[in-house]
Amino acid sequence: MNIEKEIEKYTEVLKTSEKLPALFVGHGSPMNAIANNTFVDGFQNAANSIQTPQAILCISAHWFTPGTFLTGMQHPKTIHDFGGFPRELYQIEYPAPGNKDLAETTQQLLSPNPSIIDDSEWGLDHGSWSVLRHMYPEATIPVVQLSIDYTKPASYHFELAKQLRPLREKGVLIVGSGNIVHNLRMVDWQNVDKIDHGYEWASEAREIVNKAIISHNYQSLTDYKKLSTSLQLAIPTPDHFLPLLYILAQENKNEPINLFNDHLVGGSLSMTSVQVGE
């Protein structure tokens, strides 16, 4: 299969464009969707510093599935996949269009992985829209979500994600949404909004991961289960960590790496975000 020819079939969406960076965003609490804080500023600054994308492919921690799926509906619904928050949060809609052409192109790029285009069951979960509504509030840019196959190891996801690199050349912004340090059972809820409040193990885990990112030592991150106890506490489940690997895998040789929103909150959460490329 000639992948470049497959991509060129979908010129309506994948227009010739300057190469876009790829972003991992620490989305944190769903309340960030309606907040006005330093993290929201970081999301907005990231969007303002790059070319407006033709489309967005988002890998969200909150679509964790037995297999690989892509949204393919024309009008993906806004999913409020959380509980116990103010009514205002449940009233938010992010009516970005979908684009089946982009979903099909992504499916071709991931071949021979048996990815499935889902045109009815999912939509945009809060891992996507809680951040995108700050980055692109007009909700006019098409968004497709790619699920994370929970049956596969971290190394599999890193290698799979490399196959998405051609999308960056065609005006598609690849966004991974999760949290590097994400241990909800150990959150200090009385200080959940306190910036730079982190347990010692959380600070250590943040430092280890940041050092690996800056030094381009991604192999250590695909083997995170072999790292220190602090990493095991920071990543008790892989769902919020794996989107980071999807973005690091987008790096081409000699591309710059930039960290932003690099803060701990609530003792056991980090908002650290990463931009790959310019």
For 29-68, write each residue's pLDDT tens digit.
999 999 999 999 999 999 999 999 999 999 999 999 999 9
Amino acid at position 79, single letter: I
Segment 163-175, tens digit of pLDDT = 999 999 999 999 9
Q: Which residue has the higher pLDDT, 14 or 140?
A: 140
- Is the Cβ–Cβ distance between 114 and 26 less than 8 Å? no
Find out whether 102 and 10 touch, Cβ atoms under 8 Å: yes
Give pLDDT, residue 16. Answer: 52
CATH of domain 3-276: 3.40.830.10
Beta-carbon-side half-sphere exposure of residue 24 (alpha carbons within 13 Å): 29
Task: Give the pLDDT confidence of 223-257 residue by residue, as tens digits.
Answer: 999 999 999 999 999 999 999 999 999 999 889 99
pTM: 0.93
The closest of 212, 197, 218, 205 to 179, measured between CA atoms, is 205
Crossing angle of the two packed helices 126-135 and 38-48, in degrees rounded to 10: 70
Per-residue confidence (pLDDT) for residue 5, from 0 to 100: 52
Backbone φ and ψ for 61, nearest 5 degrees, come out as: -60, -20
The ranges assigned to domains in the chain are 3-276
Bigger pLDDT: 190 or 138? 138
- pLDDT digit string, tens, across residues 80-96: 999 999 999 999 999 99
Alpha-carbon separation of residue 241 from 14, 144, 150, 209, 236 (angstroms): 28, 20, 12, 11, 10
pLDDT at position 17: 63
**Cα gap 15→254, rounded to integer Å:** 25
CA distance 3 to 8: 9
